Structure 1
Amino acid sequence: MTTPQRPRRNFYGRLKGKSLKPSQRSYIAEDLSDLSPGAVSWEDNPARDTLDLEGLFGGRPVWLEVGFGGGEHLVHQAVANPDVGIIGCEPYINGVAMLLGKIRRAEADNIAVHPGDVRDMFDVLPEASIDRAFLLYPDPWPKARHHRRRFVTEEHLVPLARVLKPGAIFRVATDIEDYVRQTLEEVPRFGFEWLAERPGDWRAPWDDWISTRYEQKALREGRVPHYLTFRRT
Protein backbone atom coordinates (compact mmCIF):
# COMPACT_ATOMS: atom_id res chain seq x y z
CA MET A 1 0.00 0.00 0.00
CA THR A 2 1.32 3.42 -0.95
CA THR A 3 1.74 5.79 1.97
CA PRO A 4 0.11 9.18 1.30
CA GLN A 5 2.67 11.95 0.98
CA ARG A 6 2.42 14.97 3.23
CA PRO A 7 1.64 18.00 1.06
CA ARG A 8 4.52 20.46 0.83
CA ARG A 9 3.11 23.84 1.77
CA ASN A 10 4.57 27.07 2.95
CA PHE A 11 2.58 29.10 5.43
CA TYR A 12 2.95 32.87 5.56
CA GLY A 13 1.46 34.93 8.34
CA ARG A 14 1.18 35.08 12.09
CA LEU A 15 0.22 32.08 14.20
CA LYS A 16 0.31 33.87 17.55
CA GLY A 17 0.34 37.45 18.81
CA LYS A 18 0.28 38.83 22.33
CA SER A 19 -0.03 36.45 25.26
CA LEU A 20 -3.55 35.14 25.69
CA LYS A 21 -5.63 36.38 28.60
CA PRO A 22 -6.49 33.78 31.26
CA SER A 23 -10.09 33.68 30.00
CA GLN A 24 -8.89 33.08 26.45
CA ARG A 25 -6.62 30.27 27.56
CA SER A 26 -9.61 28.67 29.25
CA TYR A 27 -11.65 28.94 26.05
CA ILE A 28 -8.90 27.13 24.16
CA ALA A 29 -8.54 24.44 26.84
CA GLU A 30 -12.23 23.87 27.49
CA ASP A 31 -14.04 24.54 24.21
CA LEU A 32 -11.81 24.12 21.18
CA SER A 33 -11.62 20.33 21.02
CA ASP A 34 -15.41 20.00 21.16
CA LEU A 35 -15.82 22.49 18.33
CA SER A 36 -13.07 21.13 16.09
CA PRO A 37 -14.49 19.29 13.06
CA GLY A 38 -12.58 16.03 13.40
CA ALA A 39 -9.19 14.99 12.05
CA VAL A 40 -8.28 17.76 9.63
CA SER A 41 -4.54 18.19 10.10
CA TRP A 42 -2.06 15.85 8.42
CA GLU A 43 -0.78 14.59 11.76
CA ASP A 44 -4.26 13.44 12.82
CA ASN A 45 -5.46 12.29 9.41
CA PRO A 46 -2.58 11.23 7.13
CA ALA A 47 -4.93 9.20 4.94
CA ARG A 48 -6.94 12.39 4.26
CA ASP A 49 -10.25 10.72 5.09
CA THR A 50 -13.29 12.74 4.05
CA LEU A 51 -14.95 14.85 6.71
CA ASP A 52 -18.41 13.64 7.77
CA LEU A 53 -20.49 16.79 7.36
CA GLU A 54 -23.72 14.89 7.93
CA GLY A 55 -22.49 13.83 11.35
CA LEU A 56 -21.08 17.28 12.06
CA PHE A 57 -24.15 19.36 11.21
CA GLY A 58 -27.02 16.91 10.85
CA GLY A 59 -27.67 17.49 7.17
CA ARG A 60 -27.82 21.28 7.36
CA PRO A 61 -26.36 23.36 4.52
CA VAL A 62 -22.69 24.14 5.25
CA TRP A 63 -20.92 27.47 4.89
CA LEU A 64 -17.19 28.10 5.11
CA GLU A 65 -15.37 31.22 6.33
CA VAL A 66 -11.71 31.49 5.35
CA GLY A 67 -9.73 33.40 7.97
CA PHE A 68 -12.40 34.61 10.39
CA GLY A 69 -10.21 37.14 12.21
CA GLY A 70 -11.87 37.89 15.55
CA GLY A 71 -15.01 35.95 14.65
CA GLU A 72 -17.54 38.81 14.57
CA HIS A 73 -18.94 37.93 11.16
CA LEU A 74 -18.91 34.18 11.72
CA VAL A 75 -20.92 34.37 14.95
CA HIS A 76 -23.27 36.95 13.45
CA GLN A 77 -24.07 34.62 10.56
CA ALA A 78 -24.40 31.57 12.81
CA VAL A 79 -26.91 33.29 15.09
CA ALA A 80 -28.87 34.71 12.14
CA ASN A 81 -28.91 31.35 10.33
CA PRO A 82 -29.45 28.56 12.88
CA ASP A 83 -30.49 26.20 10.08
CA VAL A 84 -26.97 26.38 8.62
CA GLY A 85 -23.70 24.88 9.84
CA ILE A 86 -20.63 27.12 9.53
CA ILE A 87 -16.98 26.04 9.50
CA GLY A 88 -14.44 28.71 10.33
CA CYS A 89 -10.73 28.31 9.55
CA GLU A 90 -8.13 30.55 11.18
CA PRO A 91 -4.49 29.76 12.00
CA TYR A 92 -4.01 32.83 14.25
CA ILE A 93 -4.61 31.43 17.72
CA ASN A 94 -5.46 34.82 19.23
CA GLY A 95 -8.31 35.14 16.75
CA VAL A 96 -9.45 31.61 17.57
CA ALA A 97 -9.56 32.52 21.26
CA MET A 98 -11.62 35.63 20.52
CA LEU A 99 -14.05 33.59 18.46
CA LEU A 100 -14.48 30.99 21.19
CA GLY A 101 -15.42 33.71 23.66
CA LYS A 102 -18.02 35.09 21.24
CA ILE A 103 -19.45 31.60 20.69
CA ARG A 104 -19.86 31.16 24.44
CA ARG A 105 -21.66 34.46 24.82
CA ALA A 106 -23.91 33.88 21.80
CA GLU A 107 -24.56 30.22 22.74
CA ALA A 108 -24.27 29.33 19.06
CA ASP A 109 -24.32 25.58 18.44
CA ASN A 110 -23.89 25.49 14.66
CA ILE A 111 -20.19 26.39 14.38
CA ALA A 112 -17.12 24.23 13.83
CA VAL A 113 -13.64 25.72 14.27
CA HIS A 114 -10.46 24.62 12.52
CA PRO A 115 -7.51 26.45 14.15
CA GLY A 116 -5.28 26.08 11.15
CA ASP A 117 -4.70 26.46 7.43
CA VAL A 118 -7.82 26.29 5.25
CA ARG A 119 -5.87 24.13 2.79
CA ASP A 120 -6.03 21.32 5.34
CA MET A 121 -9.80 21.70 5.37
CA PHE A 122 -9.95 21.62 1.57
CA ASP A 123 -8.13 18.27 1.69
CA VAL A 124 -10.91 16.59 3.66
CA LEU A 125 -14.09 18.34 2.55
CA PRO A 126 -16.25 16.31 0.18
CA GLU A 127 -16.54 17.52 -3.38
CA ALA A 128 -19.46 19.93 -3.98
CA SER A 129 -20.38 20.04 -0.29
CA ILE A 130 -20.24 23.76 0.61
CA ASP A 131 -23.16 26.11 -0.07
CA ARG A 132 -21.44 29.43 0.65
CA ALA A 133 -17.91 30.68 1.31
CA PHE A 134 -16.56 33.94 2.72
CA LEU A 135 -13.16 35.60 2.31
CA LEU A 136 -13.33 38.80 4.34
CA TYR A 137 -10.45 41.26 4.57
CA PRO A 138 -7.73 38.71 3.83
CA ASP A 139 -4.08 39.53 4.36
CA PRO A 140 -3.35 41.93 1.47
CA TRP A 141 0.33 41.04 0.99
CA PRO A 142 0.84 44.45 -0.64
CA LYS A 143 4.33 43.94 -2.09
CA ALA A 144 4.25 42.72 -5.69
CA ARG A 145 6.64 39.86 -4.97
CA HIS A 146 4.23 38.59 -2.32
CA HIS A 147 1.06 38.60 -4.43
CA ARG A 148 1.45 34.86 -4.96
CA ARG A 149 0.77 34.46 -1.24
CA ARG A 150 -2.72 35.91 -1.57
CA PHE A 151 -5.71 33.62 -1.28
CA VAL A 152 -6.98 34.53 -4.75
CA THR A 153 -4.44 32.34 -6.52
CA GLU A 154 -4.67 28.96 -8.20
CA GLU A 155 -3.38 27.11 -5.13
CA HIS A 156 -6.48 28.11 -3.18
CA LEU A 157 -9.10 28.71 -5.84
CA VAL A 158 -8.87 25.27 -7.43
CA PRO A 159 -9.70 23.39 -4.20
CA LEU A 160 -12.27 26.03 -3.25
CA ALA A 161 -14.05 25.46 -6.55
CA ARG A 162 -13.91 21.71 -5.95
CA VAL A 163 -15.68 21.85 -2.59
CA LEU A 164 -18.33 24.44 -3.53
CA LYS A 165 -21.63 23.23 -4.91
CA PRO A 166 -22.69 24.44 -8.36
CA GLY A 167 -24.51 27.71 -7.77
CA ALA A 168 -22.79 28.29 -4.41
CA ILE A 169 -21.97 31.88 -3.48
CA PHE A 170 -18.44 33.11 -2.77
CA ARG A 171 -18.16 36.51 -1.09
CA VAL A 172 -14.97 38.56 -0.96
CA ALA A 173 -14.58 41.80 1.01
CA THR A 174 -11.41 43.88 0.84
CA ASP A 175 -10.31 47.49 1.15
CA ILE A 176 -7.22 47.03 -1.05
CA GLU A 177 -7.77 48.13 -4.66
CA ASP A 178 -5.04 45.89 -6.05
CA TYR A 179 -6.58 42.93 -4.23
CA VAL A 180 -9.85 43.77 -6.00
CA ARG A 181 -8.00 43.77 -9.31
CA GLN A 182 -6.40 40.39 -8.69
CA THR A 183 -9.66 38.92 -7.41
CA LEU A 184 -11.59 40.00 -10.50
CA GLU A 185 -8.84 38.65 -12.76
CA GLU A 186 -8.26 35.32 -11.04
CA VAL A 187 -11.51 34.10 -9.49
CA PRO A 188 -13.50 33.84 -12.77
CA ARG A 189 -10.69 31.72 -14.26
CA PHE A 190 -11.52 28.87 -11.89
CA GLY A 191 -15.23 28.36 -12.39
CA PHE A 192 -16.89 31.47 -10.97
CA GLU A 193 -18.93 34.33 -12.38
CA TRP A 194 -18.98 37.79 -10.86
CA LEU A 195 -22.52 38.83 -9.94
CA ALA A 196 -22.40 42.57 -10.51
CA GLU A 197 -24.56 44.68 -12.79
CA ARG A 198 -24.06 48.17 -11.34
CA PRO A 199 -21.53 49.95 -9.09
CA GLY A 200 -23.75 49.57 -6.05
CA ASP A 201 -23.33 45.82 -6.32
CA TRP A 202 -19.73 46.08 -5.12
CA ARG A 203 -19.81 49.40 -3.26
CA ALA A 204 -22.66 48.61 -0.88
CA PRO A 205 -22.31 45.88 1.76
CA TRP A 206 -24.49 42.80 1.66
CA ASP A 207 -27.88 43.04 3.36
CA ASP A 208 -26.80 40.65 6.13
CA TRP A 209 -23.37 42.22 6.62
CA ILE A 210 -21.86 43.13 9.96
CA SER A 211 -18.89 45.48 9.90
CA THR A 212 -15.81 43.80 11.37
CA ARG A 213 -12.98 45.39 13.32
CA TYR A 214 -10.77 45.10 10.24
CA GLU A 215 -13.29 47.06 8.20
CA GLN A 216 -13.60 49.71 10.89
CA LYS A 217 -9.83 50.15 10.83
CA ALA A 218 -9.89 50.51 7.04
CA LEU A 219 -12.60 53.16 7.24
CA ARG A 220 -10.70 55.10 9.90
CA GLU A 221 -7.63 55.08 7.67
CA GLY A 222 -9.58 56.27 4.63
CA ARG A 223 -9.68 53.07 2.59
CA VAL A 224 -12.82 52.10 0.68
CA PRO A 225 -14.36 48.64 1.18
CA HIS A 226 -15.36 46.57 -1.82
CA TYR A 227 -17.89 43.73 -1.64
CA LEU A 228 -17.52 41.19 -4.43
CA THR A 229 -20.01 38.38 -4.98
CA PHE A 230 -19.29 35.36 -7.17
CA ARG A 231 -21.29 32.28 -8.08
CA ARG A 232 -19.81 28.83 -8.69
CA THR A 233 -20.69 27.91 -12.25
Structure 2
Amino acid sequence: MTHAPKHPKAPWRNFYGRFKGKGLRPSQEAYLQEDLDTLSPGPVDWDSNPERRPLDLGALFGGAPVWLEIGFGGGEHLVHQAARNPGIGIIGCEPYINGVAMLLGKIRQAGVTNLRVHPGDARDLFDVLPEASISKAFLLYPDPWPKKRHHRRRFVTPEHLEPLARVMKPGAELRVATDIPDYVRQTLVEVPRAGFDWLAEGPSDWRTPWDDWLSTRYEQKALREGRVPHYLTFRRQG
Protein backbone atom coordinates (compact mmCIF):
# COMPACT_ATOMS: atom_id res chain seq x y z
CA MET A 1 0.00 0.00 0.00
CA THR A 2 1.27 3.47 -0.92
CA HIS A 3 0.22 6.81 0.46
CA ALA A 4 0.69 9.54 -2.14
CA PRO A 5 1.91 12.94 -0.86
CA LYS A 6 -1.07 15.02 0.18
CA HIS A 7 -1.91 18.70 0.47
CA PRO A 8 -3.29 19.58 3.95
CA LYS A 9 -6.79 19.99 2.47
CA ALA A 10 -6.72 16.73 0.56
CA PRO A 11 -8.82 13.76 1.70
CA TRP A 12 -6.93 10.73 2.94
CA ARG A 13 -6.92 8.11 0.20
CA ASN A 14 -5.11 4.81 0.28
CA PHE A 15 -3.59 3.75 -3.02
CA TYR A 16 -2.99 0.04 -3.50
CA GLY A 17 -0.60 -0.57 -6.34
CA ARG A 18 2.70 0.46 -7.84
CA PHE A 19 3.81 3.90 -8.91
CA LYS A 20 7.04 2.69 -10.50
CA GLY A 21 8.55 -0.61 -11.60
CA LYS A 22 11.87 -1.49 -13.16
CA GLY A 23 14.26 1.21 -14.36
CA LEU A 24 13.22 3.30 -17.32
CA ARG A 25 15.21 3.48 -20.52
CA PRO A 26 16.94 6.80 -21.26
CA SER A 27 14.45 7.46 -24.07
CA GLN A 28 11.54 6.94 -21.67
CA GLU A 29 13.12 9.28 -19.12
CA ALA A 30 13.36 11.84 -21.92
CA TYR A 31 9.67 11.42 -22.78
CA LEU A 32 8.74 12.11 -19.17
CA GLN A 33 11.00 15.15 -18.97
CA GLU A 34 10.07 16.64 -22.33
CA ASP A 35 6.44 15.71 -22.95
CA LEU A 36 4.52 15.00 -19.77
CA ASP A 37 3.95 18.57 -18.59
CA THR A 38 2.78 19.63 -22.04
CA LEU A 39 0.28 16.77 -22.14
CA SER A 40 -1.17 17.43 -18.69
CA PRO A 41 -4.92 18.09 -18.67
CA GLY A 42 -4.36 20.93 -16.22
CA PRO A 43 -3.92 21.50 -12.48
CA VAL A 44 -5.08 18.16 -11.05
CA ASP A 45 -2.84 17.63 -8.02
CA TRP A 46 -3.79 19.24 -4.73
CA ASP A 47 -0.69 21.41 -4.45
CA SER A 48 -1.37 23.16 -7.76
CA ASN A 49 -5.17 23.21 -7.36
CA PRO A 50 -6.06 23.10 -3.65
CA GLU A 51 -9.48 24.64 -4.26
CA ARG A 52 -10.28 21.91 -6.81
CA ARG A 53 -11.22 24.32 -9.59
CA PRO A 54 -12.80 22.38 -12.47
CA LEU A 55 -10.73 21.78 -15.58
CA ASP A 56 -11.67 23.89 -18.59
CA LEU A 57 -12.28 21.05 -21.03
CA GLY A 58 -13.68 23.42 -23.64
CA ALA A 59 -10.40 25.29 -23.81
CA LEU A 60 -8.41 22.06 -23.60
CA PHE A 61 -10.09 20.29 -26.51
CA GLY A 62 -11.79 23.11 -28.42
CA GLY A 63 -15.28 22.09 -27.40
CA ALA A 64 -14.94 18.49 -28.66
CA PRO A 65 -16.60 15.61 -26.78
CA VAL A 66 -14.29 14.20 -24.10
CA TRP A 67 -13.57 10.54 -23.39
CA LEU A 68 -11.69 9.03 -20.46
CA GLU A 69 -9.60 5.88 -20.11
CA ILE A 70 -8.97 4.79 -16.52
CA GLY A 71 -5.77 2.81 -16.10
CA PHE A 72 -4.42 2.74 -19.65
CA GLY A 73 -1.60 0.27 -19.00
CA GLY A 74 0.88 0.62 -21.87
CA GLY A 75 -1.39 3.03 -23.74
CA GLU A 76 -1.97 1.06 -26.95
CA HIS A 77 -5.78 1.25 -26.76
CA LEU A 78 -5.69 4.92 -25.80
CA VAL A 79 -3.54 5.88 -28.79
CA HIS A 80 -5.64 3.67 -31.06
CA GLN A 81 -8.81 5.50 -30.06
CA ALA A 82 -7.17 8.91 -30.37
CA ALA A 83 -5.95 8.16 -33.89
CA ARG A 84 -9.30 6.69 -34.90
CA ASN A 85 -11.28 9.64 -33.47
CA PRO A 86 -9.37 12.88 -34.18
CA GLY A 87 -12.47 14.96 -33.41
CA ILE A 88 -12.60 13.63 -29.84
CA GLY A 89 -10.54 14.74 -26.86
CA ILE A 90 -9.30 11.86 -24.69
CA ILE A 91 -7.80 11.91 -21.21
CA GLY A 92 -5.84 8.90 -20.00
CA CYS A 93 -5.29 8.25 -16.32
CA GLU A 94 -2.54 5.92 -15.06
CA PRO A 95 -0.51 6.08 -11.81
CA TYR A 96 2.15 3.57 -12.94
CA ILE A 97 4.91 5.78 -14.33
CA ASN A 98 6.41 3.02 -16.49
CA GLY A 99 3.10 2.77 -18.34
CA VAL A 100 2.98 6.55 -18.69
CA ALA A 101 6.44 6.53 -20.25
CA MET A 102 5.37 3.81 -22.68
CA LEU A 103 2.32 5.84 -23.66
CA LEU A 104 4.39 8.98 -24.28
CA GLY A 105 6.57 7.06 -26.71
CA LYS A 106 3.48 5.78 -28.55
CA ILE A 107 2.06 9.31 -28.74
CA ARG A 108 5.27 10.54 -30.37
CA GLN A 109 5.25 7.68 -32.83
CA ALA A 110 1.57 8.06 -33.76
CA GLY A 111 1.64 11.86 -33.87
CA VAL A 112 -1.78 12.19 -32.20
CA THR A 113 -2.58 15.58 -30.69
CA ASN A 114 -5.97 14.99 -29.03
CA LEU A 115 -4.67 13.21 -25.92
CA ARG A 116 -3.96 14.43 -22.40
CA VAL A 117 -2.33 12.37 -19.64
CA HIS A 118 -2.89 12.35 -15.90
CA PRO A 119 -0.09 10.29 -14.26
CA GLY A 120 -1.88 9.63 -11.00
CA ASP A 121 -4.92 8.42 -9.10
CA ALA A 122 -8.20 8.65 -11.03
CA ARG A 123 -9.97 9.93 -7.93
CA ASP A 124 -7.90 13.14 -8.01
CA LEU A 125 -8.91 13.63 -11.63
CA PHE A 126 -12.57 13.08 -10.77
CA ASP A 127 -12.28 15.91 -8.23
CA VAL A 128 -11.60 18.43 -11.00
CA LEU A 129 -13.61 17.10 -13.93
CA PRO A 130 -16.81 19.12 -14.41
CA GLU A 131 -20.07 17.39 -13.68
CA ALA A 132 -21.57 15.55 -16.69
CA SER A 133 -18.56 16.30 -18.89
CA ILE A 134 -17.43 12.83 -20.08
CA SER A 135 -19.11 11.24 -23.11
CA LYS A 136 -17.44 7.82 -22.92
CA ALA A 137 -15.22 6.01 -20.43
CA PHE A 138 -13.08 2.88 -20.63
CA LEU A 139 -12.05 0.55 -17.79
CA LEU A 140 -10.00 -2.15 -19.51
CA TYR A 141 -8.47 -5.07 -17.66
CA PRO A 142 -8.28 -3.31 -14.29
CA ASP A 143 -6.21 -4.80 -11.50
CA PRO A 144 -8.24 -7.86 -10.46
CA TRP A 145 -7.16 -8.03 -6.80
CA PRO A 146 -8.12 -11.75 -6.82
CA LYS A 147 -8.12 -12.42 -3.08
CA LYS A 148 -11.57 -11.93 -1.56
CA ARG A 149 -10.28 -9.73 1.24
CA HIS A 150 -8.88 -7.37 -1.40
CA HIS A 151 -12.06 -6.95 -3.45
CA ARG A 152 -12.70 -3.60 -1.79
CA ARG A 153 -9.55 -2.35 -3.56
CA ARG A 154 -11.07 -2.92 -6.99
CA PHE A 155 -12.17 0.01 -9.11
CA VAL A 156 -15.75 -1.26 -9.25
CA THR A 157 -16.59 -0.03 -5.75
CA PRO A 158 -18.65 3.01 -4.71
CA GLU A 159 -15.51 5.00 -3.85
CA HIS A 160 -14.64 5.09 -7.55
CA LEU A 161 -17.95 4.53 -9.32
CA GLU A 162 -19.91 7.31 -7.63
CA PRO A 163 -17.53 10.10 -8.69
CA LEU A 164 -17.21 8.49 -12.13
CA ALA A 165 -20.99 8.59 -12.50
CA ARG A 166 -21.00 12.25 -11.47
CA VAL A 167 -18.63 13.30 -14.26
CA MET A 168 -20.32 11.25 -17.00
CA LYS A 169 -23.06 12.72 -19.15
CA PRO A 170 -26.54 11.18 -19.13
CA GLY A 171 -26.51 8.54 -21.84
CA ALA A 172 -22.70 8.30 -21.82
CA GLU A 173 -21.16 4.88 -22.45
CA LEU A 174 -18.96 3.00 -19.99
CA ARG A 175 -16.98 0.03 -21.30
CA VAL A 176 -15.48 -2.55 -18.96
CA ALA A 177 -13.27 -5.41 -20.17
CA THR A 178 -11.98 -8.13 -17.85
CA ASP A 179 -11.00 -11.79 -17.95
CA ILE A 180 -11.80 -12.43 -14.28
CA PRO A 181 -15.25 -14.05 -13.74
CA ASP A 182 -15.60 -12.71 -10.21
CA TYR A 183 -14.73 -9.22 -11.43
CA VAL A 184 -17.56 -9.57 -13.94
CA ARG A 185 -19.93 -10.50 -11.12
CA GLN A 186 -18.89 -7.54 -8.96
CA THR A 187 -19.10 -5.18 -11.94
CA LEU A 188 -22.64 -6.31 -12.77
CA VAL A 189 -23.68 -5.69 -9.15
CA GLU A 190 -21.90 -2.42 -8.43
CA VAL A 191 -22.01 -0.47 -11.71
CA PRO A 192 -25.84 -0.48 -11.98
CA ARG A 193 -26.04 0.61 -8.34
CA ALA A 194 -23.97 3.66 -9.30
CA GLY A 195 -26.50 4.75 -11.91
CA PHE A 196 -25.76 2.76 -15.07
CA ASP A 197 -27.79 0.37 -17.20
CA TRP A 198 -26.15 -2.78 -18.59
CA LEU A 199 -26.67 -2.89 -22.36
CA ALA A 200 -26.85 -6.62 -23.02
CA GLU A 201 -29.59 -8.59 -24.74
CA GLY A 202 -27.75 -11.86 -25.28
CA PRO A 203 -24.44 -13.68 -24.70
CA SER A 204 -22.82 -12.22 -27.82
CA ASP A 205 -23.08 -8.77 -26.22
CA TRP A 206 -20.46 -9.69 -23.61
CA ARG A 207 -18.52 -12.30 -25.54
CA THR A 208 -17.83 -10.22 -28.65
CA PRO A 209 -15.42 -7.27 -28.54
CA TRP A 210 -16.54 -3.83 -29.61
CA ASP A 211 -16.25 -2.98 -33.32
CA ASP A 212 -13.43 -0.51 -32.67
CA TRP A 213 -11.61 -2.72 -30.15
CA LEU A 214 -7.83 -3.07 -30.09
CA SER A 215 -6.70 -6.09 -28.12
CA THR A 216 -4.25 -5.02 -25.41
CA ARG A 217 -1.19 -6.81 -24.09
CA TYR A 218 -3.17 -7.74 -20.99
CA GLU A 219 -5.85 -9.39 -23.08
CA GLN A 220 -3.27 -11.27 -25.11
CA LYS A 221 -1.76 -12.60 -21.89
CA ALA A 222 -5.20 -13.68 -20.68
CA LEU A 223 -5.87 -15.53 -23.93
CA ARG A 224 -2.50 -17.29 -23.78
CA GLU A 225 -3.29 -18.43 -20.25
CA GLY A 226 -6.73 -19.71 -21.21
CA ARG A 227 -8.89 -17.03 -19.60
CA VAL A 228 -11.99 -15.73 -21.38
CA PRO A 229 -12.44 -11.98 -21.95
CA HIS A 230 -15.76 -10.33 -21.13
CA TYR A 231 -16.84 -7.05 -22.74
CA LEU A 232 -19.45 -5.19 -20.70
CA THR A 233 -21.18 -2.06 -21.95
CA PHE A 234 -23.15 0.29 -19.70
CA ARG A 235 -25.06 3.53 -20.24
CA ARG A 236 -25.24 6.34 -17.73
CA GLN A 237 -28.82 6.86 -16.58
CA GLY A 238 -30.51 10.22 -16.72
Q: Residues 78-104 of structure 1, C-alpha deviation per residue, up to 9 Å, x if partnerless?
A: 000000000000000000000000000
DSSP 3-state at the match of 2:112: coil
- Decide which of 103, 106, 130 is 2:107's aligned counterpart: 103
Measure, in 1, the Cα distance between the counterparts of 2:181 and 2:65. 32
Shift of 1:179: 0.1
Query: Which residue of 1 is the match for residue 3 of structure 2?
Result: none
Does the CA-based 8 Å contact 1:128-1:164 persist in structure 2? yes
| 2:192 aligned with 1:188 | yes
1:162-194: per-residue Cα shift (whole Å, max 9, x none)?
000000000000000000000001100011000
8 Å CA contact 1:202–1:226 kept in 2: the answer is: yes
Amino acid paired to 1:218:
A
Question: Residues 26 and 4 from structure 1, CA distance in 2 versus in 1: closer, same or farther, beyond 3 angstroms?
Answer: closer
> 2-side partners of 1:21 and 1:190: how far apart?
41
SS at match of 2:226: coil
- 1:42-81 alignment runs, 5 A limit: 42-81=46-85
Choose the corresponding residue for 2:127, options 123, 130, 150: 123
3-state SS of the aligned residue for 1:33? coil
- What is the identity, as a one-letter code, of the residue corresponding to 2:235? R
1:144 maps to: 148
Per-residue CA shift, 1:21-40, capped at 9, x if unaligned? Answer: 00000000000000001110
Query: 1: distance between equivalents of 2:53 and 2:132?
Result: 16
Residue 209 of structure 1 corresponds to which residue in structure 2?
Answer: 213
Q: Supply the AA of the counterpart residue of 2:103.
A: L
State the distance in 2 between where 1:163 and 1:116 align.
17
What is the match of residue 174 of structure 2? Answer: 170
- Name the structure 2 match of 1:87: 91
Q: Distance in 2 between matches of 1:58 and 1:108?
A: 15
**TM (normalized to structure 1)?**
0.98
Which of 31, 44, 48 is the aligned partner of 2:35? 31
Q: Any stretches of 5+ residues in structure 1 without a counterpart?
A: none
Aligned partners of 1:196 and 1:202 also within 8 Å? yes
Question: What is the root-mean-square deviation of aligned Cα atoms in Å?
Answer: 1.0
Helix, strand or coil at the partner of 2:36:
helix
* Distance of 1:4 and 1:206 partners within structure 2: 43
Instruction: For residue 5 of structure 1, report the CA deviation from its aligned partner.
Output: 2.6
Tell me the residue number matched to 2:4. Answer: none
Identity %: 77
Q: Deviations over 1:3-33 (max 9, x none)?
A: 9831110000011011000000000000000
Q: Which amino acid aligns with 1:52?
A: D
| Other-structure match for 2:225 | 221
User: Which 4+ stretches in 1 moved above 2 angstroms?
Assistant: none
Amino acid at match of 1:166: P
Q: Is the 8 Å Cα contact of residues 174 and 180 (structure 1) preserved in structure 2?
A: yes
**Deviations for 1:110-156, whole angstroms, at most 9, x for unmatched residues?**
00000000001000000000000000000000011100000000000
